A = this chain, B = another copy of it.
Amino acid sequence: MSQHEQQPLDFDVVVVGAGPVGENVADRAHKAGLTVAIVEKHLVGGECSFYACSPSKALLRPIHATRASQRVQGSEGARLDPQGVLARRDAWINRLDDSGQVGWLDHVGITLLRGEGVLTGPRALEVDGRPVTARHAVVLATGTTPTVPPVPGLREAKPWTNREATTSRRIPDRLAVLGGGVVACELAQVYAALGSTVTVVEQAPGLLGRNEEFAGTAVKEALERDGVDVRVGTAAESVSRLGPTGEVTVHLEGGGTVVADELLVAVGRTPATKGLGVESVSGRLTDAGYVSVNARMEVEGVEGDRPWLYAVGDVNGIALLTHMGKYQARACGDLVGARAAGREPDADRTTPWADDLGAPQVVFTDPEVAAAGLTEAEAREHGLRIRVVDLPMDSAAGSGLQAEGYQGQARIVVDEDAGVLVGATFVGQDVAELVHAATVAIVGKVPLATLWHAVPSYPTMSEIWLRLLEEYGL
């Protein structure tokens, strides 16, 4: 920051929140020639870099690589080294030191304002009480915080959230996990692999409820093979901990208890809008507390002769995924840049319209779950006339070559009226990179009759595409 000390606290653009989403919107606006400040009260790089995607994948990848070796005849002796896994994770999160990211901001010329940003009026904020103004735009990118539900005794039991679970240097003997979504499944698998006795408690009847049901079923079975006790369809009624560091007991609805040394709460996220002052400028929040935005990420309800307040990433609640937030950030940064220059923005480029098609997502469990577009249920809710094609992944020879006894499942969802793909889900070892082809097909609205000519290479696992289209009847 040193080179900026002499500048007045007035910028073209002020971004609140320096996670990947905030960094991207700041970067695009700065590249458009604007002066940009980014406000961050904790770590530059945000939840994703330090407490979510990055450490989670850093922890999971050695597990995947070890198992991949163990599953192939001719490769032997691979084993997990738990301390090595933790050391790898430490390297990826740089021991919670954000100097690398701060150096990048300095390098490109974006001003970092450390502190808590609060909207105080049109184009006006305070950062830890210090007034800051934005000539053109303020962009909110504060993300979310872990939800701690109002279960009696839960907060007092000092549960882990994703933050503690992704950064712990200690492997608890027993870990209880509340929740059955991505964070719960990934971290349950990590700790089980590292040696913890893990119990998952999920209220819903299955895991990964936003995915196709077969994906959650496959991950549940895999967790159980890993020794995880998965209890679905039940919830915590109360929680108690014996003393400040003693064992935690989770009392389940309808009886039964889970006793553990640590308790991870991973039941959802809460938008980080508290104290942000959105309402003070007439900005609207959704019932769930997210900042309400239109298709161009403009905060709804804000008054003024021209748009100046935007919200991108998790805080707007559209898709709680780093890559979709970054996507919104690129569009928003370009929009802010164009508007500041008095140019008519390119509507296609500055509207993140692919949000509406269903975000791609990879769950890095073993098996991986890689999905894009709509699930069967979502497509039906959209009123589409669809056809679903299901196949085991080993219909493609490439899967069997990847691992002995390869287990997995693939589904495509076809919009029968439009003749295009609207959804795809792949479950299995090493399917993470298979899904981008689906994203391209869905977003590009490539007709199925044309997809038929997109030949997958033999013998890759991607040949499942051929099998799915054959099964569809092409």
Contact = CB atoms under 8 A, between A and B. Distances in A.
B354 A48 contact: no
The interface residues of chain A, by DSSP majority, are classed as: helix
A88 B74 CA distance: 7
A79 interface: yes
A46 interface: no
A359 B77 CA distance: 38
B444 A446 contact: yes
A81 interface: yes
Nearest to A86: B74
Interface residues of A, number: 86
A248 B71 CA distance: 38
B74 A80 contact: yes
A72 B76 contact: no
B359 A48 contact: no
A460 interface: yes
B439 A441 contact: no
B73 A459 contact: no
Interface string A282-317: 000000000000000000000000000000000000
Contacts of A437: 436-437, 439-440
Nearest to A426: B433
A453 B373 CA distance: 13
A467 to B, nearest CB: 12
Contacts of A398: 57
Interface in A58-84: 58, 61-63, 65-66, 68-69, 71-82, 84
Contact of A77 (B74, B78, B443, B449): B78
Interface stretch (A113-121, A123-131, A151-159, A320-328): A320-328
18 contacts: A48-B458, A58-B401, A66-B69, A74-B80, A76-B78, A76-B80, A323-B463, A326-B455, A354-B454, A354-B455, A360-B456, A430-B433, A433-B433, A437-B440, A439-B454, A439-B455, A440-B441, A440-B446
Given A63-B75, A74-B82, A440-B441, 7 more contacts: A54-B401, A62-B75, A65-B72, A72-B88, A73-B91, A353-B453, A443-B446
